[in-house]
Amino acid sequence: MPELPEVETVMRGFRDAFEGHRISHVTVNRPDLRWPFPADLREKLEGHHVLSFRRRAKYILVRLEGGWSMLLHLGMSGRLTIGRAGTNATPPAHEHLVLETDSGARAGLVDPRRFGMVDLVRTSEEDSHRLLAHLGMEPLSDAMTGPALAELFRGRRSPIKSALLDQKLIAGLGNIYVCEALFRCGIHPERQACTLTGEETAALAEAIPQILEQAIASGGSSLRDYVQADGTKGAFQDLHLVYGREGVPCPNCGAEHPIQRITQAGRSTFFCPTCQK
């Protein structure tokens, strides 16, 4: 599933092509993904200018004149392809929704597994939408501080990795970047969240935004299906220190201590048992 840096990267590509332009045509090639498309989707989009974009956790919000926003989630393997309308290129398979603007931009939502979703919400009520209302702090916001994390983890006996992945606490973090952040901070992923010291929560509050910003600058991590909006792969996978590197020597403590993989809550966790305590 695309994580925060990948969604942010896609959102920026979408924004660059569509912001300030009028949606001239909407093509719905199937009536649903995870859930049915809104019955009035075409009515709310066609003929309206795109005012701005926003990312909330792993969701993209497209704000339109008329007071409505389109809410988009890419699901497990969805992607948004940006190009030019009217070309002779064959549309990709599993392209379920197409938006075109008066400037000739084209966006196609491709989702082979159909775990993504599209919905409409009044712009003034975005944060009350059933999929957004429960979300926690944004890790790239000023709310991400050591004391704030310490308060979130207070009394929590769950593993720190599970706490960081809890979208009700911190919105948008995923498996890749949590593994990377815990490694940089020297924190074992199985540590109880409530045992972290003030120094450790401060280190996490600094490392998490740094890693996310580095990943965004690199276009995200292309491991399976993910590509940027222009169809090119991201490059941050080449900078992973632990994720997907089981058996590789630890970049900190060397060949005698290879990166290990364990399973937590059904997900692979990569870490160095020597460096992370």
Q: Contact, 189 vs 161, CB < 8 A? A: yes
Does 84 qualify as catalytic in the annotation?
no
Number of helical H runs and strand E runs in the chain: 6, 12
Helix axes 146-153, 198-217, angle to 10 degrees: 110
If we measure between CA atoms, which residue out of 15, 23, 14 comes closest to residue 101?
23
Does 58 qualify as catalytic in the annotation?
yes
Distance (Å, rounded) from C-alpha 229 to C-alpha 7?
Answer: 10
Q: Considering 44, 55, 58, 106, which one is annotated as catalytic?
A: 58
Q: Contact, 154 vs 123, CB < 8 A? A: no
Distance (Å, rounded) from C-alpha 264 to C-alpha 204?
Answer: 20
Q: Which residue ranges make up the annotated binding site? A: 94, 113, 156
Q: Which residue ranges make up the annotated binding site for DNA? A: 94, 113, 156
Q: Contact, 153 vs 196, CB < 8 A? A: yes
CB proximity list for 23: less than 8 A, separation 6 or greater? 45, 46, 47, 48, 49, 50, 64, 99, 100, 101
Q: Contact, 108 vs 91, CB < 8 A? A: yes
Q: Considering 12, 34, 54, 267, which one is annotated as catalytic?
A: 267
If we measure between CA atoms, which residue out of 166, 213, 227, 244 comes closest to residue 2?
227
Does 15 qualify as catalytic in the annotation?
no
Q: Considering 2, 139, 159, 189, which one is annotated as catalytic?
A: 2
The sheet carrying 79-84 orders its strands as 23-28, 95-101, 105-110, 79-84
Distance (Å, rounded) from C-alpha 64 to C-alpha 45?
Answer: 8
Does 161 qualify as catalytic in the annotation?
no
Give me the active site residues, please: 2-3, 58, 267
